[in-house]
Structure formats: structure tokens, C-alpha cells
Homo-oligomer: A and B are copies of this chain.
Amino acid sequence: MISRVQSISLVPPSLKDNTGDADRLVIALKKKLQTNDVHIDLDILKELPIVLRQGDYKLRVMCFKDRRGWTVAGIAPSENQRPMLGLAIDLGTTRIVLRLIDLATGETAGQTGLDNPQIPIGPDILARIHFAETPGGLEKLSQIVVDGINETLAALCETNQVTPRDIYLVSMAGNTAMTHLFLGLPPRWIIREPYIPVVNKPAVMKTRELGLAVRSSARILIFPNIGSYFGGDLIAGILYSEMNKKAATSILVDVGTNAEVVLGNDNWLIACAGAAGPALEGGVTKMGMMAGPGVIDKVSIDPATRAFNIHTIGDHRPRGICGSGLIDLAAHLFSAGMVDIRGRLIPAECGDKLKTIDGVRYLVIVPKQESATSEDLTLSQIDLDSLIRSKAAMYTILETITQTVGITFDDISKFYVAGTFGAFIAPRSAITIGMIPDLSLDRFETLGNSSLEGAAKALMMVDCLAEIDRIRDGITYLELNVNQDFMNRFSAAKFIPHTDHARFPSVRMPK
């Protein structure tokens, strides 16, 4: 296995062998890397003669293989024992995560995150794309992300006693819109019919072109996307899950406002994306919010006493509920018989927890005297209706993609839940409300921040680009047609767990 970090010892030049410095290095690298093409940038040429002569013709070379061949992404004298680091970036819409990796050993050298600095400009993708269309807007959106990453990275480096100059390679995964905004590419046509990205497979670039404050010769690999609604973060997830290398068929699901799904094995991959609505991320309910201190992430209800057992992040007083908490809550309300199969609150069962204001029913989850906000934290019938639609959309997308390739849920050996948000969902609760199919729990695997993990994995894979392109190019993208069939399936899924109970044998129907 060829390593990206090569230790090279050259024979010093002489009158009998007056090969140029770069040529001398290239000859040695061609042999080590088993290639006939090694590219060296001007930056590196400028330092090469000094590094060679100071280090007695011994040096360490960081090599990167992109789509066109091998490139030297940095050199250092061999006696200089500074690390050669890679930086993996998960470029999320709400959160950006950075991880430093030692390219020689694969060890993590530090990790941190920052809220996407674009949030104050626009909380969601749509708002940011509209801002990008105002004069100077695109440049600003791009600049603040780069600045934010640079600042956070500088702090991360300091904490870990390394410097940004120790970073020779960057790997970044994000959705299509975030990638466009980062690169400063006009995102206008991503959200407008027929939904066209400027680029799906950006070339490997010099980090300097993008203003990233790392070693000036460093390269950046940006994960390719399939189209406007299936981005590099998902490709990174597939790379991390290795579902494309397994004979058994598995499915990878990124749960969010937009549900992205990939189904397949080492022989084929099919993908689709569809709107699920913001309910699954806790984005509609009055008390819904992103995960954070004091946010309810787990709920259970004693079936006998109907007492709520509420868990908050950090065990603070509750101030809201996140998506996974909401799914838990809905599942337990159903199991406790407080919500019917249509997702309606049952007054007789909810008792004095139920209030009606302006004709809308509310269930008090946390009374004001126990909440952090000094107000009741409630779940309204409207919130529940919204959740039902979202979970039905999710289930319908899963049903549609499996039916399209002619398999059943039972044929799925692994059900990967991708994304940071997905990691918090309790599969048992998601099954209970009929959001995901009723598979035995051991088939579910949460991947955590699979976008970051995939980006980090690429840093240590010499042939990562070939593998990434193989994944990307091998995916058949299924356009979801919201036709009568789809609507029929959707209608049937708008029950808890489903009109067809037989599909969810593990879900015990309340008395």
C-alpha cells in the first residue's frame, strides 16, 4: 500500500549527474508511487532547492493522487519532525465540523466545530441563496464561511500545538448548495426548475485559491454531488458506510427537512431525495428547536400512570424539544393510548394535560412551573399533524425506492441512519410511528456525522478520488414523481404506524 507521506533520500548531484532538483525528486517519486506522472507546483519548486540542500537531500514529501495523477502537495526536511496533517471538514448548513488527522499515522489530532457563520444572514438554504443574488451577496457568503473556518482552525491548531502550515491536504463534504456558496459559485439555478448545479464534480484545487489559511501548497478535495438535491455529504456517508462494497443490500437514510436515501450494494446503487418537511428536525412545533442544553431529546410515558419521563440534554430544565424527542414523544403517546392511529389527541385519555385554545388542542408536556421558559411546553394537534405528514413522506420515499428496484424491506440487511441529527433518533420510536420499516433493531446502525467521517476517511485513502467517483458515477438517481401511486402510498402511511398494521408486527397496538 502506497502512503501519501513519502520519506525520500536522494543521491546528491554531481558533475556526472547534474539532473535538476525537481527532476531528481520526480524520478524518485515515480518509482515510489509507481506512476509515470508527478506534478510539482511553483510554490514547492521555490522551496525545493533549499530543503534539499539543508536536509542533505533527505526530505518528506506529501503526495496526493487526484483525477489527473500524482501531485506533490508539500515538502519538508526529513529532520524537521513537524506532523503532516490533513483537515476533514463537514460543511453543514447549520454546523461546520473540523477534524485534524495525522496523515502518516491516521490518528485524530484534534476536532472542533462552529455554527455556520451564514446563519445570521439566512437560517436556511433558501434564504442564503436569495441573499447570494443580491450584489456582493455571494462573495460575502463565501468569505464569511472561509473566515469562520480559518479562525476556528487557528484556535484548533493552537490547542493541539500544531500550525495551519502543518496542514497539507483538506477534504470537504457538504450539500450541493453549501458547496456552491463555499466555492463562490452562483447557486441561483439550484433552487429553480430544472434545478441545475454549476458543477457536480469540482476539480481538486489549491487551498490558496479558496483563501483557506493552511499550507500554501495544500490541496482541497471537495466531495462531488449527484445533483442539486443530493450532495457530497451523502457521497461521504456512502464512502464511510462502505455499503457500496457489500454484497448484501443496505440502505442509507439522511433524515431531515429533505430526506435523502441511497439503496444498494456492491453491484448497484440507487438514490433519491424528497421533501419530508421540517417536522422531523423539530422545526415546526412551537417548542421545537435544534439539539442543545435543556432540549428534550428523549421521552417515555409510563403506560400505567401516564407519567412523562423527560430527559433533556445536559439535564437542564426543559426549554424545548428536538426532532428525536418529538419522535419519541409521539411514539409513546401512541403506545400509551393518548393519540389514535390518525395521530389525533384523545381527550378522554389525555385528561387534564389537554387544553383547548382557539379551537386547537394542546397537550402540556412540561408545565410552566417545571420549564426553563416559565411557560408550558406544549404539543399541539397541528404539530402532530405535521409530524405525521413528515413521517409518512419519509416512509413513502423508502417504500417507493425499494419498490422501484423490486425488493422488500426484508431484503435490507443494514439500515444506516446518516447525519448528526439522525444519530439521536431512537429506531424503536421511529418504527412505532411508522416512519421507518419494522426491521429488527440490530439491522439499524447510526453513522453519526457520516459526512465528516467520510471526509476524514478520504484523507487516509490514497485512491480516494477513484473510489469517490466510482460511488458517485455508479449511482442511479431516481426522480421522485409525486404521481397518483405516490399519493396513494403517502395516504396509507399517514396513520400510526400505517393503515396496513401487518407491516409493523412489532408495534403493539394500544388497547
Contact = CB atoms under 8 A, between A and B. Distances in A.
Task: Give the most central of A50, A199, A200, A479: most B CB within 10 Å.
Answer: A199
Interface string A48-59: 111000000000
B198 A45 contact: yes
Interface in A148-200: 183-186, 188-189, 193-200
Contacts of A227: 18, 20
A203 interface: yes
A467 interface: no
A200 B50 CA distance: 17
Nearest to A479: B15
Contact size class for A?
35 or more
A189 B49 contact: yes
B18 A202 contact: no
Given A45-B183, A50-B186, A188-B49, A22 B194 contact: no
Contacts of A50: 186
Interface string A19-58: 1111100000000000001011110011011100000000
Interface of A: 13-15, 17-23, 37, 39-42, 45-46, 48-50, 67-69, 183-186, 188-189, 193-203, 205, 209-210, 227-228, 479
A20 B187 CA distance: 11
Given A20-B200, A45-B198, 13 more contacts: A18-B194, A19-B196, A20-B198, A21-B189, A21-B198, A22-B199, A40-B203, A42-B203, A45-B185, A49-B185, A49-B186, A49-B188, A68-B69
A68 B39 contact: yes
A18 B68 contact: no
B21 A68 contact: no
Contacts of A198: 20-22, 45-46, 48-49
Q: Which 3 A-B pairs have the closest CB atoms?
A: A22-B199, A68-B68, A20-B197
B46 A201 contact: no
B185 A18 contact: no
B194 A20 contact: no
